[in-house]
Structure 1
Amino acid sequence: MIKVAIIGTGAISTSHIDAFLAFQDQCKIVALCDIYSEKAQKQAKDFDLDVEIYNEYKDVMARNDIDLVSICTPPYTHADITIEALEQGKHVIVEKPMASSLEECDAMNAAAEQSGKILSVIAQNRFTSPMMKLKSVLDSKLMGKILHTQVDSFWWRGYSYYDLWWRGLWEKEGGGCTLNHAVHHIDIFRWMNGMPAEVTAVMSNVAHDNAEVEDISITIGRYVNGSLAQITSSVVHHGEEQQLIFQGEFARVSVPWKVTASKPQENGFPEINEELESKIQQEYDLQPNLQYEGHAGQIQDVLLAIEGKKDVLVTGKDGRETLELITAIYQSSSLGESVALPLGKNSPFYSREGVLKNATYFYEKKKSIDNFATNEITTGGKYE
């Protein structure tokens, strides 16, 4: 039985608790920890959990019986807690974004390598049937070379969203919608299509003058082979339509699922390529639906990896590469320049201190509250 501790019992912890409870034959939650102990107590009561409550994460780490730590705290705390857990011989699953800087990511990955323990970064939107099926279609190469990719990471958050004490601050949240919302789609984009060689980006804050960080950014990525990608990250889009579209040489596919294939007439104008559409649709349909999706799917993946039954799908190196692309977006938009990838220690945004010094600050945070009355949130990923 894998014994689990959850550090941080804010809104996202509910998704983790629900997920772990789906696998009670494999794991058991034995500890909850939060600097606001009443929040941990409420979660324990709401889910009828027989657990120890802590308000210091180091006290949790001191327990020898805990195998896996699930970290649901604000981004600026991820590195310290993760490294401590790994050094204490515990596996770690940490919420997105992996950390506040590439320097912290590198330290976390080094600790994982030294400890020999699993470090996985939450990317729950990979663990959906539409995404897994789309990945299979792209891997089949039926579409030919990818020419253009469109990523619409559209979310909507009201003005009060940034009232929470750690949100809206470069120091604590690490960034705005590009880091904390579009991270899902940027991870999937990178997983499916690889890293671009260069990015050029702009960002703004158009609707939240109570936050230092951006609420919209638009990025163009360029690949070595000349193909282009555009990524829009936003918390100002009503309806929250989220999609990834891949335009290949021979066909177009997307999530939400749609396939269109064209072949040229004698004059170069298109006509439908029904045969190719049928082949791509067959490849999509051949992939089974996942039994567990979202956080449950990813937590199952980690539990199976701990049991030695598979390799974990989303590693610390994956988390670092996703943050690398986001960091390049911030560097480009803040300094007004195109940024070549990969990013190393010479990047002015490599360290947390570098981010705080060089990032664009839009507004001052105007209000700070400890907690909201409700823990209800939405995590996207429907793709319908």
Structure 2
Amino acid sequence: MLKVAIIGTGAIAPSHIQGYKEFSESCEIVALCDIYPEKAEKAAREYDLNVNIYDDHQKLLASEDVDLVSVCTPPYTHAEISINSLDAGVHVIVEKPMASSLEECDAMNEAAKKSGKLLSVIAQNRFRTSMMKLKQVLDTELMGPIVHTQVDSFWWRGYSYYDLWWRGTWEKEGGGCTLNHAVHHIDILQWMKGMPSEITAVTSNTAHDNAEVEDISIAIGKYEDGSLAQITSSVVHHGEEQQLIFQGKNARVSAPWKVTASKSKENGFPEGDLELEEKLQKVYGELAEVEYEGHPGQIQDVLLAIQGKKELLVDGQQGRQTLELITAIYQAASLKGTVKLPLTEEGPFYTREGSLKNATYFFEKKNSVSNFSDTTITTGSDKN
């Protein structure tokens, strides 16, 4: 029976708690940790957990015999807590974004390598039926080479969203909607299509003058084969219609699922390729549903990997690649130029200090509250 601790009991922690409860035959939660211990105590009561409560992760690691921790704290703390846990011989699941800088990602991956323990970065949208099936359809290459990818990571957050004490600052949140909302779709992009060779981008803050960070960004990624990816990240879009569209030479497929195929008439104008559409639809329809979606799916993936039954789907290197793509967007937008990938250690945004120095600060953070009375969150998962 694997012993689990959850570090940070804010809005995302329930997703981890409920996920672990799905697999009570192979793991149990034995400890909760939060700098506000009353929040951890409240979570223990709400989820009927018989656990020890800590206000410092170092005390937890020194006192508890745990096999796995979930790091659910603000982004600027991810590297320190993950590295300390790995050094203590504990497997780690860390919430997105992986860290505040590529330098920290590299340190986390090095700690995982030295310890021999697993490091998995939350990318729960990979573990949704719609995404798993779309990935497998793309792998058939029936739609031909991908020539254009459209990523619409549309979210909406009210003005008070950035009043929470750690949000809306480069120092503690590490960025705005590109890092903390579109990270899911950007992860899916690099998982399904790979990393572009260059990025051009623009960021802005149009509706949240209580935050230093962006509330919208638009980026263009160019691949070595000449194909383009168009990435819009936003917390100003009402309706939150999120989608990923892959335009192949022969057909387009997307999440939410839609397939359209065209072939050329003699004069170059299109006509529907119903045969290819039916073939793609048949492939999609015959693919299996995912048994556990979202956080439970990723938690199951980690538990099976710890047991030696499979390889991690999302390890520290995958988490780093997603942050590298996001970092390139920030660098391109802040320094107003096209950025070549991969990024190097000499780059202006490689370190946390470099990011803080070079990032675009839109406004000063005006308000700060320790917590909201309503801690429910929306994940947009029903949009895909």
Shorter-chain TM range is: over 0.9
The aligned counterpart of 1:66 is 66
Distance in 2, Cα, partners of 1:382 & 1:286:
21
Contact 1:130/1:383 (8 A) holds in 2: no
The aligned counterpart of 1:192 is 192
1:64, CA displacement in angstroms?
5.4
Query: After the TM superposition, which of the residue ranges 57-66 and 226-235 deviates more from structure 2?
Result: 57-66
1:63, CA displacement in angstroms?
3.6
Letter aligned with residue 37 of structure 1:
P
Contact 1:112/1:118 (8 A) holds in 2: yes
The aligned counterpart of 1:332 is 332
Distance in 2, Cα, partners of 1:83 & 1:56:
15
Distance in 1, Cα, partners of 2:30 & 2:379:
25
Moved over 2 A (4+): none
Distance in 2, Cα, partners of 1:256 & 1:374:
30
Among all aligned residue pairs of Structure 1 and Structure 2, give the percentage whose two residues are the same amino acid: 71
1:62, CA displacement in angstroms?
1.4
Distance in 1, Cα, partners of 2:371 & 2:133:
38
**After the TM superposition, which residues 127-276 of structure 1 pair with which residues of structure 2 at under 5 Å, given as runs?**
127-276=127-276
- Runs of 5+ consecutive residues of structure 1 not aligned to the other structure: none
Distance in 1, Cα, partners of 2:347 & 2:284:
40
Distance in 2, Cα, partners of 1:193 & 1:381:
21
Query: What is the number of equivalent residue pairs in this alignment?
Result: 384
**After the TM superposition, which residues 69-148 of structure 1 pair with which residues of structure 2 at under 5 Å, given as runs?**
69-148=69-148
The aligned counterpart of 2:374 is 374
Query: After the TM superposition, which of the residue ranges 278-287 and 317-326 deviates more from structure 2?
Result: 278-287
The aligned counterpart of 1:296 is 296
Whether 1:47 aligns to 2:32 is: no
Deviation string, structure 1 residues 127-158 (Cα, Å, up to 9, x no partner): 10000000001000001100000000000000
Distance in 2, Cα, partners of 1:201 & 1:56:
39
The normalised TM-score by structure 2 is 0.99
Contact 1:259/1:281 (8 A) holds in 2: yes
1:383, CA displacement in angstroms?
3.1
CA RMSD of aligned residues (A): 0.7
Query: After the TM superposition, which of the residue ranges 63-72 and 157-166 deviates more from structure 2?
Result: 63-72
The aligned counterpart of 1:310 is 310
SS in 2 for 1:62: helix
Contact 1:349/1:355 (8 A) holds in 2: yes
Distance in 2, Cα, partners of 1:10 & 1:158:
19
The aligned counterpart of 2:283 is 283
Distance in 1, Cα, partners of 2:157 & 2:296:
25
Distance in 2, Cα, partners of 1:141 & 1:62:
51
1:258, CA displacement in angstroms?
0.2
Distance in 1, Cα, partners of 2:34 & 2:72:
10
